[in-house]
Amino acid sequence: MGCRRRPPAQREALFYETYYSLSQLYPLLLLLLLIVLGTCLALLTLHLASGREFSSNLSFLITLFVALAVFSLILILVCIESIFQECTRVFSAVIWACLLAMGYIFVFTSGVVSAWDQVSFFLFIIFTVYTMLPVCMRDAVVAGLASSLSHIIVMGVYLSARRESRADLAVQLLANAVIFICGNLVGAYHKHLMEVALQETFQETFKLIQSRVKLESEKRHQEHLLLSILPAYIAMEMKAEIIERLRDGGRQESANNFHNLYVKHHKNVRYRTPIPTPRFWSHDVTLANHMEAGGVPGRVHITEATLSHLGGVYAVEETCRWQRDPFLKENKVKTFLVIDPWVGAESCNNTLSPVPGEGPKMRASVRMTRYLESWGAAKPFANLKHLDTIPADQPGFTRNNYSESSLGSLNQSKTVERVRSPKGPDEELDGVDEKFFQVLEQLNSQKQWKKSEDFNRITLYFKEKLMEKEYRLSALPAFKYYTACTFLVFLAGFLIQILVAHKTPALGISYGISFFLFTLLLFICFAGNLVKCFQKGPKMLYWVPSLSTAVCTQPWLRVTLGITTILVVLTMAMFNLFFIPTPWCPPPSHNPAVPVNATRESPSTDSLFSIPYYVYCCILGLLSCSLFLHMNFELKLLMLTLCLVIYNVLFLHSHAWLSDCYVGHLYPNQTMLRPGVLKEPKLMGAVSFFVFFFTLLALARQNEYYCRLDFLWKKKFKKEREEIETMENLNRVLLENVLPADVAQQFIGQNRRNEDLYHQSYDCVCVLFASIPDFKEFYSESNVNHEGLECLRLLNEIIADFDELLSKPKFSGVEKIKTIGSTYMAATGLNATSGQDNQQDAERSYTHLGIMVEFAVALIAKLDIINKHSFNSFKLRVGINHGPVVAGVIGAQKPQYDIWGNTVNVASRMESTGVLGKIQVTEETARALETLGYTCYLRGVIKVKGKGQLRTYYVCTDLSRGGLQASMLS
C-alpha cells in the first residue's frame, strides 16, 4: 500500500513545526551554543589572567573543560539539520541539564556558598529556555520554574543549617524569587510575542500559497476553456489590453472613437459547418454556409477549389447543385461529395434526392450554437473590482499575468491540453507542499548574512529607500504592552532593593519620581482603552485617548517614550548604589583597594550583601531592552553598549572597593587563598554583563531580521493577494462574456466531467432575435475597405453599442445568448428559478416580456443613432416569442451556452419572416404583452417554415419614439 496522506490539519501543523524550527529555534540554538562556548573560554581566560591557583579551583576548571567538550559535540550534531529535526527535544533537554549542572557546580566550588551565588547564571538559564531553546511554551514554563525552585530550595536547605542570621537568608531568598519570577515572565512574554508573530506570518504564508496554487489551477482551467473558444492570438491581445486598461485605472482612451476590433486575415482557410467560434467573415464563409445547407447527411460537401488542394487523395462524385441550393446554382459553383473509402459508393439518385421542406430561405447560421458573443468594451469592466490593485512590475515579484509566452505555449500544446484533465485535489496539495518548502528554504538564519536583493547584510536596512521609510513609519499597536511588561521589570527591581538594600531617603525619593514617570507613560499608552471613561467626563478631555493612537502611529513619539522607559529602568537599577552607607571593612593590608576612611566608619555590614543584587537589578534592566521587539537593532546596540560600559566602570572601578570589602568579610581567615572568579561580586557582575550583552544582541539581531522579513513578506503577499483577486475577477469577466454569470460559476474552479453537464429548464422565457438584413449587401471585400475590415469594424460598433445597453440596471435581466453574423440573440427570464411560475402570479411572470420589448425598442433607437453618425440606413428586424426553454452548456472542456426549444425556433422564424423596423410576435406573446399595457396590432396569418400557418402581431413602438425612447437610452 502507498503512504496515506496526512489530514489537512496534521499537514498544516507539520508545516508550522518545520517553519517555526527553521525560522526561530534552529538559528537561536546555534547562537546559544556559541555564547555558552564563548563564556567557558572567557572564564578560563579570566581565571588564568587573574593568577588564581589551579589546586583551589580544580573542580571549577574541570567543569569548564568538560562543558567545552560537551557543547562542542552538541554544536557539531546540531549543525546536521536532519539530526536536529529528529532529536530537537533531546538536544533541548541535554543543554538545559548541562547548564543546570554547571550552575550547581559553580555554586559549590571555588569558595564560600552564599544565597546570591549563581543567581545570574540561573537567570541566564531561565531566560534562554524561553527565548533560545527549541521547546514549546509548556516545556519552557516547566523548565523555567524547575530551575527557579531548585535554586531557591537547594540554597534554602543548604544555608539554613549553616548561617547565623536566618532573617538575612530569608530576605535574600525572597529577592532571588523576585528575580526568577521576573525572568520567567520576561522570557514567557518574549516567547509569546515571537510565537504570535510567527503564527500570523505562517498563516498568511500558508493561505497565500494555497490561494496561489488554486489560482494557478483555475487559471489553467479557465485559460483552457477560453482557448477552446478563442484562438490564442485573439485571447492574448484581449487580455493584454484589458490588463493595460486596469493598470491605467480604466482611463486609457483609444486613439479613435471605435471599439476595439480583433480581426486577422487568413489565407487558404477551409470551412465546415457548423463553424466553431470565433467567427469568420468573408464571401467564403457565406459559401460554406450554403455548402452545408445543400449538403447530404453523413457526407462531406466540398467545392471544386477545395478539391484542387486535396491532391487526388480522396475519391469524389459530382453533385447536382441546382437540386441542392439555389445560391450554388446562381453562382455556378461546382461541388462534390467525398466518397468514404470504407463504405461502398451509393447511387447518385439516392444521395442527391432533394430534402423535403428545405428551400432557398434555409438559414444555416441558425443551427450554429457554438458561437462566442461580441466582446464589448464597456461590460467586461463593469463587474471588475480592485481596478487599482494591479501593481507595476517590480523585481522580486512573481506575476501571474496571462503573458504572451503562456498563451503561446498553450496554443502550441492545445492538443495535449484538450485531453489533459485539470489537477485533482491531491495534486494541488502536492503543489502547496512543494511551494511551501521552497519558501522554507528562504528562512534559514544564514540567509541574513548572505547577499540579498532586499536587505543590506550588515545593517539589515532595506535597499529600497521607500520600503525602509515605510517600515520605520509603520504602526505598532503592541507598543503599550512592551511598556507594561517593562514596568513589571521596574517593579521587580524596586522589590529587590526594598528587600536587600539599605533604606535611605534617596531610595524613597528616586523611586517615587520613577513611579510617577511610569504612571504617566502607562497612562499615555493605554489612554485609548479608557475612551468610555473620558466620554463621560468633560469635553476638554476628549482628546486624551488620541494620545494612545499617536504613540502607535508616530515613530518619533514611540521611540522617545521607549528610550525613556528603558532608561528609567536602567538608571534605577544602580542609582541607589551611590547612596549606600560606607561599611566597615577589614584592614587595608588585606584589602588594599578599600579607601582608608572606610575603616573608620560605623561597623555596620548589613548592606554589603546587597552588592550582588545591584548587579542583578542591572541585568534585569538589560532584559528590558529585549521587550521592545520592534525597536531598531542599532538603537538597542547603542543602549546596551552604553550600559555595558557604565556598569563595568561602576562595579570594576569606582565602586569595586565595595565588592572587595564584602569578599574580605566572607573570607576573613583566608589571606593566602582567593575565591573563584564567579565568587567575587565585581567579576561575577562583569562576566554576567558580557554574557547577557551578547545574548541580547543575538536576540535583537534575530528579531530585527525576522521583523523586517515579516514586513517584507506581508508587503509582497498583499500585492500578490491583490493580484490574485484581480486575476480571478479578470478570468471571471472573460468567462462571463462567454457564459452567463450564474452559469460561469459552475465552471470556474470546477473540474466537470462529460456527464456533469449544466442544464436548466424554464417555464417562461422570452427570446429575441434582432437582425440587420441589409448588412449582408453592405459587406464587401476590396482593397479600399481592407478586405472587408472596415465593414466588420462598423458591425463591431453596432454590436458593441447593443452590448452597452446590457449594463443599464433596467436591462439587467436581459441575457445575451450570442450573435450570429449580423443577428443578435437575447433572452429574459433565465435568472428566475426553474418552475417558479404558476397560475396565480402569471401576470408577474410576464413582466420580463415587457423588459424585452423595451430592450428591442432601445436596440432600434441605438441603430438609428449609429446610422446618423455613419451615414447609413440600416433597419432592424426583430422577432420575439416566449415559452418554455431548456438552457444548458454543451461540452465540459469546451463549454458553449445556448437555449433550445420550440420557443427559440419560433422566435427565430418571427425575425426571419418579419419586416424591417418592426417587432413581430406570436399571438400568445401579443396577448401577454397586452396584459402589461402594450399595444399590439394584427399583421395577419403568415406561413412559417416548419410551423405552418401562424397568426402574428406587430408591437406598437410609436410611443417609444418620444420621451420613453430617450429615457431608455439615457
Residues serving a catalytic function are: 909, 945
User: Rounded to the nearest 5 degrees, what angle is found at the Cα of 102, between the Cα atoms of 100 and 103?
Assistant: 65
ω before 675 within 30° of 0 (cis)? no
Chain centroid, CA 331 distance in Å: 63
User: Rounded to the nearest 5 degrees, what angle is found at the Cα of 570, between the Cα atoms of 564 and 574?
Assistant: 140
Please enumerate in sequence order all residues whose Cβ is within 8 A of that of 557, keeping only pairs 6 or more positions apart, or say none. Answer: 550, 551
Taking the C-alpha atoms of residue 598 and residue 621, their distance in angstroms, rounded to an integer, is 29
Amino acid at 24: Q
Q: Determine contact, residues 727/735, Cβ cutoff 8 Å.
A: no
> Three-state DSSP class for 820?
strand
C-alpha separations of 193 from 185, 488, 608, 703, 759 in Å: 12, 16, 38, 11, 54
Amino acid at 628: F
User: Rounded to the nearest 5 degrees, what angle is found at the Cα of 272, between the Cα atoms of 271 and 278?
Assistant: 70
Q: Determine contact, residues 96/140, Cβ cutoff 8 Å.
A: no
- Here the cell at position 672 is 593566602
How many other CB atoms are there within 10 angstroms of residue 903's CB atom?
A: 24
- Alpha-carbon dihedral 745, 751, 757, 761, rounded to 10 degrees: -20
Chain centroid, CA 875 distance in Å: 53
Please say whether the dihedral angle defined by the alpha carbons of residues 47, 53, 57 and 61, taken in this order, is positive or negative.
positive
Taking the C-alpha atoms of residue 449 and residue 447, their distance in angstroms, rounded to an integer, is 5
Q: Determine contact, residues 503/616, Cβ cutoff 8 Å.
A: no
How many other CB atoms are there within 10 angstroms of residue 565's CB atom?
A: 25
Taking the C-alpha atoms of residue 731 and residue 218, their distance in angstroms, rounded to an integer, is 9
Taking the C-alpha atoms of residue 151 and residue 177, their distance in angstroms, rounded to an integer, is 9
User: Rounded to the nearest 5 degrees, what angle is found at the Cα of 842, between the Cα atoms of 839 and 844?
Assistant: 145
DSSP state of 201: H
The continuous run of DSSP H or E covering 337 comes out as strand 335-338
